[in-house]
Amino acid sequence: MTVSKKSRWNWLNGITNKDKPAGISKIIKNEMPRHADSYVYKITSKQLNKTYIGYHKENGKTYFGSPTDTELISLVSNPKADLVFEVLQYGSKLEMRQVEHELLVEANAKDNPNYWNKTNGQSGVKAFNREAINKIVKIVEDGGGEYLAPKVKVSELSDMTTAQVREVEFDTDNLTDIIDAIVRSGGSTHKAKPPVILEDRIYDGEFHKEIRIGGAHTIESYCRTKYKNTAKLPPIRIPKELHENITDEGITLLGDLLNTRKEISSPATHGDGTRYLLKMHRAGRSWDKWVKQDLHDMGLSEGKVKTAFDNATSELENDEAVKDGYIVKDYTGNNQEELKKRVEEIQKYEPDTFVTSFSSAAVMWDRIFDRYDKDKESHHRRIICVVYHTSKKREFLWSKLQDKLLRLNRRYGKFIPLSFEEMPLYVKEVKKKKK
């Protein structure tokens, strides 16, 4: 979940104990973290021994709860009420709705005379349960223990339904290395890593008596040898009670954590990280402090983690633009011809101009002039560089970069005038009128 810079100028962070309704004597809160856009709060009265619990998505406007109980509504403006307003937790809207729901259900607030709430709220998204994920990882790292099952033919394991956790399922180079090791060992499975099977799992909305995660490269490698129907591996079977509280996006993380560097030469790409972040966001989860660590645990370097966050943010911004009625231009894909036509148009009407194009993420002064030096013709007297953007962030940064490039050209490119033309990233969609 991304939070815009503007939305972080929120009401909650600015509120103090001096600026509040007369009935609220104290405000207890911490700074809203960057990853969050919502929070769970409670209003309490020691005098009446009553509580109200709610959640709210921050929108920058004054907000001290939305109770429907007339007693509480009147108390908020009563100087003698001595109410306490406390923020309990921060996160995404759906995460906070779930926290509110669980707190209300635990107290049965709708039927509890000590609560002002009229309902027990609505469910949102359940807690991520990293503890359950870590427990399964530890079981696998320790060899399976009591969960290590009798051996099964690799051909049967190969036919089993799998939870797809990777953008690219197989690393070709690593498959070659594993196949070579299998052949040299005469088909031995002594050093092979056990695959992991989740029993009685609902995954992506469907029930599976058993679903496999991990072991993909080992199993595929045996299947590509003559030992396909003779080699057997002992799977680690994880019973329902150990994984039932892990969400599907948690299973994605679990699969990545089980695919260690020992099994996969490239354990994860920034594309896998982007996919994981988007899955978290679309499940209604916030990108809290744990998410960055998740990507590192998958095996991503700090640079790849940054790329994953940038790419995920860009895709979400594009989604928002489409919702607002814009078309997102892709000048390396669907709109490549449009970029080509712009270049050709300039060449046609300004024949003395050398025309080139770059992504704003790749354009550099020396690259422009290197291309000019290699491809210029005798009649070219100046340069126009057509620039296109791959993300909203790059579009925002372009202005400063353009100033820098033009400044460099004034200093060092005195005999070759340089200018830029910018292609739009977002274009308002024009809907055709029905005849």
Q: Is 281 in contact with 287 (CB distance < 8 Å)?
A: yes
Q: What percent of the chain has pLDDT over 70?
A: 88
pLDDT at 258: 81
Q: Please report, as a single letter, which amino acid is at residue 85.
A: F
Q: Among 41-55, 225-239, 265-279, which is the least confidently predicted range?
A: 265-279
**Which residue, among 184, 186, 196, has the nearest Cα to 231 in the 3D structure?**
186
Average pLDDT, the chain: 85
Q: What is the pLDDT of residues 119-129, one digit of tens each?
A: 999 999 887 78
Query: For the residues of 125-161, what is the DSSP string, one character each?
Result: -----HHHHHHHHHHHHTT-GGGBPPPEEHHHHHHS-
Q: What is the pLDDT of residues 150-159, one digit of tens each?
A: 999 999 998 9
Is 174 strand, coil or helix?
helix
Please state the φ and ψ torsions of residue 82, each to the nearest 5 degrees. Answer: 60, 45
Q: What is the pLDDT of residues 161-180, one digit of tens each?
A: 888 655 556 667 677 878 88
Cβ-Cβ contacts under 8 Å for 149 (sequence gap 6 or more): 197, 234, 235, 236, 237
Q: Is the pLDDT of residue 1 over 60?
A: no
Q: Is the pLDDT of residue 15 over 80?
A: no
Mean pLDDT of 417-428: 94
Quote the tokens at residue 58.
């921050």
List the end-to-end C-alpha distance of the chain, in Å, as a whole number.
42
Q: Is the pLDDT of residue 282 over 70?
A: yes
Query: For the residues of 249-297, what is the DSSP string, one character each?
Result: HHHHHHHHHHS-TTT-SS---HHHHHHHHHHHHHTT----HHHHHHHHH
Question: Would you report the helix, strand and coil content of the chain in percent, each value rounded to 5?
Answer: 40, 20, 40
Distance (Å, whole) CA 256 – CA 252: 6
CB count in 10 Å sphere of residue 292: 19
Domain ranges of the chain: 6-111, 130-267, 336-428
Q: Is 8 in contact with 34 (CB distance < 8 Å)?
A: yes
Q: Is 359 in contact with 423 (CB distance < 8 Å)?
A: no
Is 336 strand, coil or helix?
helix
Is 368 strand, coil or helix?
helix
**DSSP code of 345?**
H
**Which residue, among 301, 308, 321, has the nearest Cα to 281 in the 3D structure?**
308
Q: What is the pLDDT of residues 28-64, one digit of tens each?
A: 988 888 778 899 999 999 999 999 999 988 765 555 6
Q: What is the pLDDT of residues 285-341, one digit of tens each?
A: 888 777 888 888 888 888 889 999 999 999 999 998 998 899 999 999 999 999 999
Tokens 């809160």, located at residue: 29
Please state the φ and ψ torsions of residue 382, each to the nearest 5 degrees. Answer: -155, 175
CB count in 10 Å sphere of residue 382: 15
pLDDT at 169: 62
- Report the alpha-carbon angle 233-238-244, nearest 5: 150
Distance (Å, whole) CA 171 – CA 173: 6
Q: What is the pLDDT of residues 190-214, one digit of tens each?
A: 778 888 999 999 998 899 999 998 7
Distance (Å, whole) CA 79 – CA 83: 9
Quote the tokens at residue 41.
């709060």
pLDDT at 8: 42
Q: What percent of the chain has pLDDT over 90?
A: 47
- For residue 262, CA distances in Å to 127, 169, 257, 272, 318 come to 31, 16, 12, 18, 37
